[in-house]
Amino acid sequence: MDEFTREALATRAFRSCTADRLVGVLEEIIAATGRRPVHIRMDNGTEMTAHAMADWCRFTGVDASFIDPGSPWQNGVCESFNGRFRDEFLTCEVFHSLTEVRVLAEDWRIEYNSYRPHGSLGFLAPQAFREQWVPTEFEQQRQLA
């Protein structure tokens, strides 16, 4: 979840989430968006505090910003998103396979980013809000010319 744009950057379903899988998803997001975060706000779950995650942060120069244990309000944007995802997707569906979860979760993420207005973004969808702030590749090339 991007705190500024409120964009859901990825939804991944695993039978268990390890630090190595988390690092892989972060690398996918960076490759897809062309943007590397300055910091990552996270809780103190085992996948977040593992050596693989600490090494990734150190080698990429991304600051690991941990919330205090038992203090979800310190990560309110993410907690709000998690609540919506749980209420609107996870508790409303019956899944028959991991593949089905992955496909439907990605569809939900695209709908969330593309069509749902957010009051905190001036009632724009996260994608439209981001497009106001992040120049497209074409605009970047035009600025260099």
Task: Set out the domains of the chain in order of their start, with CATH numbers.
Answer: 19-144 (3.30.420.10)
Contact of 89 with 108, CB cutoff 8 Å: yes
Residues 59/81/33/57 CA torsion (nearest 10 deg): 0
pLDDT over 80 (residue 137) = no
Q: What percent of the chain has pLDDT over 90?
A: 54
Q: How far is Cα 65 from Cα 91, in angstroms, rounded to an integer?
A: 30
pLDDT band at 47 (very low <50, low <70, confident <90, very high): confident
Task: Give the count of alpha carbons within 13 A of 139, CB side only.
Answer: 6
Q: How far is Cα 141 from Cα 1, in angstroms, rounded to an integer?
A: 27
Q: What is the pLDDT of residue 49?
A: 81
Query: Pick the residue with more confidence: 51 or 27?
Result: 27
pLDDT band at 55 (very low <50, low <70, confident <90, very high): very high
Q: What is the pLDDT of residue 136?
A: 61
Q: How far is Cα 118 from Cα 82, in angstroms, rounded to an integer?
A: 15
